Structure 1
Amino acid sequence: MTINTQDMIGSILESISRIDYIKPEDIPNINLYMDQVTTFMEEQLASSKRYPEDKILTKTMINNYAKNNLLPSPEKKRYSREHLLLLIFIYYFKNILSINDIQTLLGPITEKYFRSDSDMDLTAVYNEVFSMEKDQVELLKEDLVKRYHTAEATFESAPEEDRRFLKLFSFICLLSFDVYTKKMLIEQLVDELRDENNEEFTKSKKSKK
């Protein structure tokens, strides 16, 4: 099996350099109907698709998000820019978290900042979070290069015909372990947040009696 890992890592780093997010100023200032929402998301996030036939967002997905209280209901079948911001968060979270976990994370955000009249509204939250993106991309690139060199140093004594594949396997294992541990950390943080929310809800109920 012949895999040019040097070309591969170069291609990955180039792709990472092109990672972008939907800027708030790119989101229409008018309310959109369902078809317009799915078209907008498809156009803006097309580069994140693994396969051309993949769908970024469908009507069924949006309806399910609303049923699971991840997304407030539209007004007169139209969705605001804040709806779109929540959909973007959901799009990224759904690849690693369960619906319940996403609900725990976005519930307080929606309750406090959706249709907020203060300066700290949902757009401000979105801006603050994604302002870190450029620095994180550079750190990610550095980390990937380190892991690549670590993997390249493995299986030096393996049969030559298997060496490239085994080095690639090492690289994938390193990346997978990183994803696994970070996912565990995220889930633990979400569980702690859920416990805190439940405690606050219980206290609130008792104070009303």
Structure 2
Amino acid sequence: MDKLAEMLKSLELDQQLNIEEIPTIDLYMDQVTQLFERAYGEGKRKPDDKILTKTMINNYAKGKLLFPIKNKKYSKEHVMLINMIYQLKGTLSINDVKDVLDPLNTQTEAEPEKLSSVYEDYLSVVHKSHERLMNEVDILVQDVQDKKKDNSDLNSDYLEQFLLIASFAHMSNSYRKMAEKLVDELEEKHEKK
């Protein structure tokens, strides 16, 4: 299953926008989109896919997913938040992302320097989850290969791909549902205050 390992590597799932890569000077929107293209461009599904567009950033600002932008420039803290939005929106609805980031936005607006520590923790957790994913994929591949040996009625290459796709889809749905449940819990706590 070296092919699957190559596929995982080509997705660059472990690629993150590290704090050192974010300029300390404020950036214009075009500079922000270019920064994201450089950071995540290699992992695009199709070459003409866009990582981050001006429209997306404008929608994040209008939807109050970010604390207010000043003079059409984005601070280092804005870029960190945009990166977290970029990662979260692949799984959660924009409303859920807003609910998750509201307390962080409020704190960042009052004390911007504190976001760096949270962002470093976020990157650390994401890195560890990527390591766990790699281990889980190895286990999954072994499970699929065992099932493939047990079932010779179908084309074995097709069966292997089908079982992998079904398993990844199930894992994705399970993780998404758990994330949504945690968002709901966060909302309940907020409503009680």
TM-score (normalised: structure 2): 0.91
Whichever structure has more helix as a proportion of its residues is 2
State the partner residue of 2:142: 149
Q: Partner amino acid for 1:175?
A: F
**Does the residue aligned with 1:79 lie in a helix, a strand or coil?**
coil
Superposition misfits of 4+ residues, deviation over 6 angstroms: none
| Structure 1 residue ranges without an equivalent (≥5) | 1-5, 201-209
Q: Could you say which residue in structure 2 is the equivalent of 1:111?
A: 106
Give identity over the alignment, percent: 34
CA RMSD, Structure 1 to Structure 2 (Å): 1.9
1:135, 1:62 → 2: CA distance?
28
Aligned length: 192
The residue type paired with residue 153 of structure 2 is: P
The corresponding residue for 2:187 is: 194
**Unaligned 5+ runs, structure 2:** none
Tell which has more relative contact order, 1 or 2 (C-alpha 8 A, sep 6+). 1
Partner Cα distance (2:189, 2:136) in 1: 33
- Residue from 3, 22, 25 that aligns with 1:27: 22
> Aligned runs of 1:54-133 on 2, under 5 Å?
54-116=49-111, 121-133=114-126
Question: Within 2, Cα distance between the matches of 1:143 and 1:81?
Answer: 34
Partners in 2 of 1:115 and 1:47 — Cα distance?
Answer: 35
What residue identity is the alignment partner of 1:144?
V
Give the whole-Å Cα distance in 1 for the aligned partners of 2:15 and 2:100. Answer: 23
Paired AA for residue 108 in structure 1: P
**Bigger mean CA deviation after superposition, 30-39 or 17-26:** 17-26
Deviation of 1:61 after TM superposition, in Å, equals 0.7
Deviation, 1:17, is: 7.3
Q: 1:170 aligns with which of 163, 176, 183?
A: 163
Distance 1:100 1:38 in 2: 22
Preserved contact between residue 33 and residue 52 of structure 2 (Cα < 8 Å): yes
Separation of aligned partners in 1, 2:127 and 2:70: 35
Contact 1:82–1:114 under 8 Å retained in 2? no
Residue 159 of structure 1 is matched in structure 2 by 153
Greater C-alpha Rg: 1
Q: Deviations over 1:133-153 (max 9, x none)?
A: 443332211110101111112
